[in-house]
Amino acid sequence: MRQKIVAGNWKMNTDYDQGLWLVSEVVNMVNDEVLSDVKVIIAPPFTHLFGIKQLIKSAPKVRLAAQNCSSEASGAFTGEISCSMLKSIGVEAVIIGHSERRQLFGETNFSIKKKIKQALQAGLSPIVCCGETWDERNGGIHFQIIQTQLEEALFALNRDEIGKVIIAYEPVWAIGTGQTATPDQAQEIHRFIRNAIQEKYNSSIADSISILYGGSCTSKNAKELFSNPDVDGGLVGGASLKSREFVDIIKSF
């Protein structure tokens, strides 16, 4: 059985007190209401990570992720945060290659590949994002775009390493737009990603990797999206900032 996961990417939202309050609400609701074996991942801003780590100790289902990491291990890289620093405060996962980082901060498949390596070396689970723009989908090259993202960023990993990766399919046109991919569109791409992993590695690895959907995921559409055979959960942006809404998404399996 693949691990079911719902991850909340807070992006650059909440101040410290608001973040701690939001997590304590989520922790209480998850402890009281969530019976399934879903793993919940919270990815707050860097400044909140240590404080939130203390709060989630009472919530066995809740794990902590960063939203980004350095592609380097240590040294003269002003403003950067390394994977081993994250690991040292109890962070377990890191989102890598989000489309906002690709589009706004110049990240490429090459730099993403370096970050994935750093994460694995430090013992963090990389949550690796891929996805096409609207123009790419309209132009019929969305499969090709995703194949290239996988090949250039991910497929240099060996079998042990790839098994530790979580993949998030986030169509860029669905992020923050309210325009969710249909369950069929999500399933089609998730199947494509799993097939690509099977071809590159093998079917037991492909079957074991969790592939999350991200892009305007809400409590209204999560159930239908998550019911697809290759959709193992969600990477949730805006809806993860409201505790009730986020926990309702978690309960959609």
We find the least distance from the C-beta atom of residue 238 to ligand 13P, in angstroms, to be: 3
Q: Which residue, 179 or 195, is less far from ligand 13P as judged by CB?
A: 179
| Residue in 98, 100, 136, 190 annotated catalytic | 98
Task: Provide the binding-site residues for ligand 13P, judged by CB under 6 A.
Answer: 9, 98, 170, 175-176, 214-217, 235-239
Residues 6+ apart with CB under 8 A from 184: none
* The two structure tokens encoding residue 129: 């994002």
> Minimal distance in Å, beta carbon 94 to ligand 13P?
13
Residue (77 or 169) nearer to ligand 13P, CB: 169
DSSP 62-130: EEEEES---SSSSSS-TT---HHHHHHTT--EEEE--HHHHHHH---HHHHHHHHHHHHHHTPEEEEEE
Is 136 among the catalytic positions?
no
- Which of 100, 142, 170, 190 is an active site residue? 170
Q: Which is nearer to ligand 13P, 126 or 215 (CB)?
A: 215
Cα(61)–Cα(27) distance, integer angstroms: 9
Q: In the bound complex, what is the minimum distance in angstroms from residue 225's beta carbon to ligand 13P?
A: 12
Exposure string over 54-63, b if 16+ CB within 10 A, otherwise e: ebbeebebbb
Identity of the residue, 196 or 235, whose beta carbon is nearer to ligand 13P in the bound complex: 235
For 179, the 3-state DSSP assignment is coil
In whole angstroms, the minimum distance from the beta carbon of 67 to ligand 13P comes to 8
Does the annotation count 92 as an active-site position? Answer: no
Q: For ligand 13P, which residue has the nearest CB?
A: 237
| Contacts of 115 by beta carbon, 8 Å cutoff, 6+ apart | 69, 70, 71, 94, 96, 97, 126
Catalytic residues: 98, 170
